[in-house]
Amino acid sequence: MRRKQSKILTALAVLGAATAAWFALPASADEAPLPFTVTNNTGRGDAVFLYVLGTNLTTGKLGYANASGQFTEWTGGAATPVPAPDVSIPGPASGAATTIQIPRDMSGRIYESFGQKLVFKLTTDGLVQPAPWASGDPNHDILFDWSEFTLNGGGLFMNSTQVDMFAVPQEVSVTSATGTSTSGAPVAGGRQKIIDQVKASGDFARSVVTGADGTVLRILSPGKAADAGLMSPTYYDSYIASAWAAPVTVVPFADQPSRRFAGHPSGNTLVFTDSSGATVATFAKPTTANVWGCDGALAAPNDQVVGPIARTLCAALVRGTLGTLDTQPSGTAADFYRNSTPDVYAKAIHSNMADGKAYAFAFDDVQNQESLVHDGAPTSAGITMTAF
């Protein structure tokens, strides 16, 4: 099953257990940090601050990396959250670029904040990530965003993400001896087009969050907006009821077209059987919140049957194709978001990306719709923050 990065990373509001030990990643030639360039083409005059936060995959410890690629574990957490040390890295001014180093065997996030440093806190369970959709979060009034990465023996996997919110348009890239791969760049004026399209939908309009100076700080994803009381928690209910009543065949592995699971409605349950007729999975009718989060009734365990079916069902519900296309996944991007209650947020983001790719919800990698770049032997990588 293909790796799922955004789902793992964005599910973590509090990361790991803090420890008292310090750890530096190896610096041998074949384990040297990866040069990583952040380019600021936003046209904004704000000071920019960068953060490289995540997990040391060798030890499983949580921490941060400095500009030279040295990884340090978090220390000093308490039962009541206490301020984390300032681990920001000065970022580039508009029209400039800053090159830092990313440690090998690390998975995490690269944050960019504008005008102010982000506020991080430590508990005995680890680092508390910014959650500006939550009441009272100290980062609510800061313009910031992030991309996600894993750098390990399989190379670099990196994606921009809009699973939680969309704020700073950014293109991710990776370079190797064979060339450069990019994804996530918006079309010209794409950020404003996304804002305008979301604002034009009465159901989604309040998910656009504006600062005191009139700057749009972010657009919350529907699940986060609903959690914040900015969107109806029952938005999808009528569509779910209709879609859940239709039989469906799930073929979750593109390279295994003969591996098929037949879904049959039974009251409020979809019952899936394999080719022998044996029942392999059952799913209760999900709520709107389950669809936004791809969790609850649609929880996807890391196995080879229930998880792949669940992620396929969630992607089909978010895209509005369940109940219309009787085999899932199927169709193309032209078939998505055409139902009576479409995910306007995901539709606007995808339609305003130059390559059509984005991580607008947790399982947007179904049918390879995600803004992911990967190279098994990267020589450099980067993020380009585009004009807005």
222 close to 235: Cβ distance less than 8 angstroms:
yes
What pLDDT digit, counting tens, does each position of 61-119 carry?
Answer: 999 999 999 999 999 999 999 999 999 999 999 999 999 999 999 999 999 999 999 99
Residues 217 and 259 occupy one common structural domain? no
pLDDT value for 16:
32
In a domain, 98, yes or no: yes
**Size (the chain), residues:** 388
Q: What is the dihedral of CA 92, 146, 302, 353, to 10 degrees?
A: -100
Mean pLDDT value across residues 181-209: 98
Domain assignment present for residue 367? The answer is: yes
139: pLDDT strictly greater than 60: yes
Q: Is residue 186 part of a domain?
A: yes
Residues 306, 210: one domain?
no
Q: Which of 89, 185, 101 is nearest to 151 (CA)?
A: 101
**Which pLDDT band, with edges at 50, 70 and 90, does 7 fall under?**
very low
**Could you give the CA distance from residue 217 to residue 44 in angstroms, rounded to a whole number?**
13
Catalytic residue numbers, as ranges? 148, 164
CA distances from 56 to 10, 96, 194, 244, 327 (A): 17, 30, 35, 41, 40
DSSP SS3 for 387 = coil
Residue 22 lies in a domain: yes
- Interval 11-26 mean pLDDT: 31
Examine the domain organization and report whether 356 and 305 are in the same domain.
no
Residue 157 structural domain: 5-231+350-385
CATH number of the domain enclosing 166: 2.60.110.10
Q: How many domains does the chain have?
A: 2
Question: Are 277 and 366 contained in the same domain?
Answer: no
Cα gap 291→248, rounded to integer Å? 17
- 135 and 22 housed in the same domain: yes
Please check whether residues 40 and 167 belong to one and the same domain. yes
pLDDT above 90 coverage of the chain, percent? 91
Residue 262 has pLDDT above 60, yes or no: yes
> Same structural domain for residues 108 and 189?
yes
Query: pTM for the complete prediction?
Result: 0.92
Confidence band for 30, pLDDT divided at 50, 70 and 90: low
Q: Supply the pLDDT for residue 322.
A: 98
Give pLDDT, residue 135: 83
Asked whether residue 218 falls in the same domain as residue 242, the answer is no
Same domain? 156 vs 274: no
Residue 135 sits in the same domain as residue 253: no
39 and 135 co-located in one domain: yes
Task: Provide the CATH number for the domain around residue 306.
Answer: 3.30.920.50
Would 345 be classed as within a structural domain? no
Contact between residue 197 and residue 348 where contact means Cβ atoms under 8 Å apart: yes
pLDDT given for residue 31 in this prediction: 80
158 with 241, same domain?
no
Scan for tokens 């380019």, then name that residue.
Answer: 39
